Structure 1
Amino acid sequence: MSLRGLLGSAPVSVSVSVSLNGGRSAADGGAVPLSPPDVVEAALGAVAAGAGEVLVHPRTPCGRESLSPRVVGPLLEAVRGAGVSVPLSVSAGIGAEPDPAGRLERVRSWTVLPDRAVVHFAEPGAEELAQALLARGVAVDALVPLGGEGAGAGAQASAPGALARFLAWPVRNPARIRLAVELAVADPALVAGLGWLPPVPLLLFGREAAAWPVLRLAARCGAGARIGVGDVLHLPDGRPARSNAELVSAALAAVGQEGAATAWSR
């Protein structure tokens, strides 16, 4: 959905994307897929449960995040080869390559391209990285954290700076760019304040305790929503999630409940 008219129009169908593994490690439990076979299985299950997009953080055999074409390409081929036909995204962040120049080099050397890539606008070199991805035909999710220091990963969550950098970056092709807003709290005022931004699609998500409230807020706004083991390890009732598929099923149920509640209140 466009940023224009948020919270001011009837709800629309909400697409739910899944973050398969995020910055998790094996220490976070068996629900986190790290190896290519586990990622493929998790992607198939999540899509079967209703996920409209798949986001993955590719890993080396030792579990380290990587943007190397030798890691990204085979993983994308394996997921697509298994029959996953929804858009595939990768995270092009500092967790996979700390050096901005290194990130650019990696992206430019990809031999197999994802459909989308997440660019963290709180990280140095975001504008150049986003432009390089667009030049290669990869759509960009411009990630901006909002709502305080709880958003994002530690010191990288400079929300005002990230938003300012996104605004200063010329959006020349809105059809290839989406604003991915990580909210630390499910505050409708934060979302309403986005209405004056460039007319690009919007995806809202939260992590850990914010994940489910923000997903419900996204449903009320008609924005895209995201869930998955990469963002939260528990279901809405507090039970540990056994898989990404279980989280997606719970998310779609929550989206449906929000839509029904909103329709009833009109």
Structure 2
Amino acid sequence: MLQACLNGGRMRDFHPALPFTATEIASDAALAVAAGARELHIHPRGPDGAETLEPEHIAETLQAVRSAVPGIPVGLSTHWRIPPGGLSRQEPIRRWTTLPDYVSINLIEEDAEDMIALVLGKGIGVEAGLWSVSDAQRFVGLKDAAKCLRVLIEINEQDIDEGLRAAAGIQAVLRQAGSTLPILMHGDEASVWPIYSEAMARGFDSRIGLEDGNLLPSGRMAGDNAELIRAALALAPR
């Protein structure tokens, strides 16, 4: 399965085609799905262009995306820096009434266990974001670990060998714990395509999009998210 990560916390100085508004995100989602993406990961924005968890903006964006690509699972970020930030970001999430299919929750964040319980209690799936061996060790010890939708192995290292070692260490912890959760693995910037290739070789799901990087495998800047998706699928095993 290939997931499209459309925008993240990036700004348009990173790429002019980054979608911000609900309408832009929905239009970009339609193009990404037409290119072959089967799930979406998005960061809704408020009127000021900043990331937001406020229920009205979440609802507006989810409704627009689901209208554009009905039946496609849509996930959101809950990362620590999204306003109001830190532990306080749990409060707007409690008020969500229009719900995503899943959210990503990073185990490096101090309230990860509480966040997992909160969103599972609302019937939302969880992608458990693991950046390191210590994140993996924390995750497998959680009482709700097996209830998560999948493990999200997120490689932030820019040195490829370091990134591959980090990925292997995380996988080892999961194996030793007997985890049977699906794995989605992806890189960031310099590691996007090497980690994507590693994910394909191991039969994992992966993701591609302007949240993670703006370059094609050739090193040329992609025109948009759809072009990144097409490039990824061209590299996938047939």
The answer to whether the superposition gives a TM-score over 0.5 is yes
After superposition, give the CA deviation of every residue in 1:70-127 in whole Å (9 maximum; x if it has no partner): 1111100011112342100000111213544322211110010000001011112111
Aligned match for 1:236, one of 209, 217, 234: 217
1:101 partnered with 2:98: no
- 1:231 & 1:99 partners in 2: Cα distance? 21
Conserved? CA contact 2:130–2:170, under 8 Å: no
2:181: which partner in 1? Answer: 200
- Ranges in structure 1 where 5+ consecutive residues have no aligned partner: 1-14, 147-158, 260-266
C-alpha displacement at 1:133, in angstroms?
Answer: 0.4
C-alpha displacement at 1:177, in angstroms?
Answer: 2.6
- 1:243 & 1:47 partners in 2: Cα distance? 13
2:144: which partner in 1? Answer: 171
- 2:145 & 2:170 partners in 1: Cα distance? 23
Q: Which letter does structure 1 place at the counterpart of 2:33?
A: V
| Identical-pair percentage | 34
1:65 partnered with 2:51: yes
C-alpha displacement at 1:246, in angstroms?
Answer: 0.6
Give the TM-score of the pair, scaled to structure 2.
Answer: 0.90
Q: Secondary structure at the match of 1:48?
A: helix
1:121: which partner in 2? Answer: 107
1:54 partnered with 2:59: no
Conserved? CA contact 2:129–2:154, under 8 Å: yes
Matches within 5 A, 1:110-259: 110-146=96-132, 160=134, 162-171=135-144, 173-174=146-147, 176-183=148-155, 184=157, 185-187=163-165, 189-190=168-169, 192-193=171-172, 194-197=174-177, 198-256=179-237
Q: Secondary structure at the match of 2:44?
A: coil
- CA distance 1:219–1:23, shift in 2 (3 Å): same
Conserved? CA contact 1:47–1:84, under 8 Å: no
Q: Which letter does structure 1 place at the counterpart of 2:176?
A: W
Q: Secondary structure at the match of 2:236?
A: helix
Which structure is richer in relative contact order (CA contacts within 8 A, separation 6 or more)?
1
C-alpha displacement at 1:200, in angstroms?
Answer: 1.1
- CA distance 1:172–1:182, shift in 2 (3 Å): closer
Q: Which letter does structure 2 place at the counterpart of 1:164?
A: Q
Q: Which letter does structure 2 place at the counterpart of 1:171?
A: D
Matches within 5 A, 1:1-12: none
- CA distance 1:163–1:191, shift in 2 (3 Å): closer
Conserved? CA contact 2:45–2:57, under 8 Å: yes
C-alpha displacement at 1:196, in angstroms?
Answer: 2.1
Q: Which letter does structure 1 place at the counterpart of 2:25?
A: V
- 2:77 & 2:145 partners in 1: Cα distance? 22
Structure 1 runs, 4 residues or longer, greater than 6 Å off: none
1:20: which partner in 2? Answer: 6
Q: Which letter does structure 1 place at the counterpart of 2:57?
A: V
The total of aligned residue pairs comes to 229
After superposition, give the CA deviation of every residue in 1:31-81 in whole Å (9 maximum; x if it has no partner): 211122211111001111111110001111111111000111110001111
C-alpha displacement at 1:173, in angstroms?
Answer: 4.4
- CA distance 1:112–1:192, shift in 2 (3 Å): closer
- 1:82 & 1:192 partners in 2: Cα distance? 36
- Ranges in structure 2 where 5+ consecutive residues have no aligned partner: 158-162
- 2:145 & 2:10 partners in 1: Cα distance? 34
- 1:22 & 1:107 partners in 2: Cα distance? 18
- 2:145 & 2:175 partners in 1: Cα distance? 18
- CA distance 1:101–1:190, shift in 2 (3 Å): closer
